[in-house]
Amino acid sequence: METEYDINDKTILVTGGTGSFGKKFIRTILDEYKPKKLIVFSRDELKQFEMQQEYNEKSFPALRFFLGDIRDRERLYRALEGVDVIVHAAALKQVVAAEYNPFEVVKTNIIGTQNIIDVAMDCGVERVLGLSTDKAANPINLYGATKLCSDKLFIAANAYVGRKNTRFSVVRYGNVVGSRGSVIPFFLEKRKEGKIPITDQRMTRFWITLEQGVHFVLQGIQKMIGGELFVPKIPSMNIMDLAQAIAPDCKHEIVGIRPGEKVHELMISRDDARNTLEFDDYYVIQPVQDWWDGEKSSTLKGGRLCPDDFEYRSDTNDRWLSTEKLKELILQVENGS
């Protein structure tokens, strides 16, 4: 019988460790676990410097900071020496910027991901969990397409690890409340001008808090056997409800959908439904490759196979954020929590 993976006394590295997710993940690990080492890997020296001021070496002896770029394969060999667990959160994520700088996004999100895979195998890393996005399901923009490719690379990596003990899985979730460049900080800024720009009044999105995202990633690390794509059950929100919650007295200006945007988001397509297991709080999309032996895993016991016509879409979701709940989340963003 398999037991859940224990991350205590492990050396954990987070790519993109100075981003919104990375910072919350680092704080959660330090608060709730006892890692042997916890390595922040990112390319931004200023953000690393700022984090080092928050976490002094004496109080947090397990914490390390490692400057580097996932595009740089040789640097990854130095960074991953002795690492047990990788959480791969580094990516170029801005949808519009990706449309105008496509190969820069390819180099980070695809080539950088393959570098992580290859070096993790060579260095004997035990578990590697990649962060995906709802935009990777039936993508219509370049960012989503690169993340779908990244997901496929992660899943396929399990087929050629050989006798190595490295396992690769993926977590996919929706928009993160209050993250850099997200809609709440944008609307809060626009509220000062008395006018809220709305792309499309029908628009819906999946939403998850940073805390929920971090704990779902930790759950994935503990449960994964290699090859799963984990999708949490999270609520949807409507853009007009959000505008009402943030700025009830402001006028609305319909500006139209930006390049690469969808009206509604999708996390599990009908094509994936036949391979998807449903649990109480999450789904697992199983790989279709012949090497998959997920049925042998105790962690997948009790999962219910989804019907063939199932889709997990933000507009047909059965969980929704009320205006009152949206106001609570907005208040958290304003208070920086």
Question: What is the structure's pLDDT at 1?
Answer: 44
Q: Which of 154, 146, 58 is nearest to 107 (CA)?
A: 146
Rounded mean pLDDT of 182-189? 87
Q: How confident is the model at residue 260 (pLDDT cuts 50, 70, 90)?
A: confident
233 catalytic, yes or no?
A: no
Measure the CA–CA gap between 58 and 35, rounded to whole angstroms. Answer: 15
Domains of the chain: 11-174+207-234+267-313 (3.40.50.720)
DSSP per position, 207-228:
EE-HHHHHHHHHHHHHH--SS-
What is the pLDDT at residue 15? 98
- What are the φ and ψ backbone dihedral angles of 297, each rounded to 5 degrees? -90, 130
| Per-residue pLDDT tens digits for 44-63 | 999 999 999 999 889 999 99
What is the reported pLDDT for 296? Answer: 66
Residues recorded for the chain = 337
CB 75 within 8 A of CB 211: no
Q: What DSSP state is assigned to residue 134? A: G
User: How many other CB atoms sit within 10 Å of the CB of residue 23?
Assistant: 20
Q: How, if at all, do strands 304-305 and 276-278 pair? A: antiparallel
Contact call for residues 111 and 104 (beta carbons, < 8 A):
no
Q: What is the pLDDT of residues 277-301, one digit of tens each?
A: 999 999 999 999 888 987 667 778 8
CA dist 216 and 8 (Å) reads 17
Cα–Cα distances in angstroms (integers) from residue 29 to residues 45, 67, 222, in the given order: 22, 20, 13
pLDDT tens-digit series, residues 118-161: 999 999 999 999 999 999 999 999 999 999 999 999 999 999 99
> Which of these is catalytic: 24, 135, 190, 262?
135
294 or 242, which is more confident? 242
Return the CA Rg of the chain: 20
Q: What is the pLDDT of residues 75-113, one digit of tens each?
A: 999 999 999 999 999 999 998 899 999 999 999 999 999
Closest CA to 61 of 85, 89, 34, 28: 34
Cα distance between residue 166 and residue 319, in whole Å: 36
Number of H helices, E strands in the chain: 12, 17
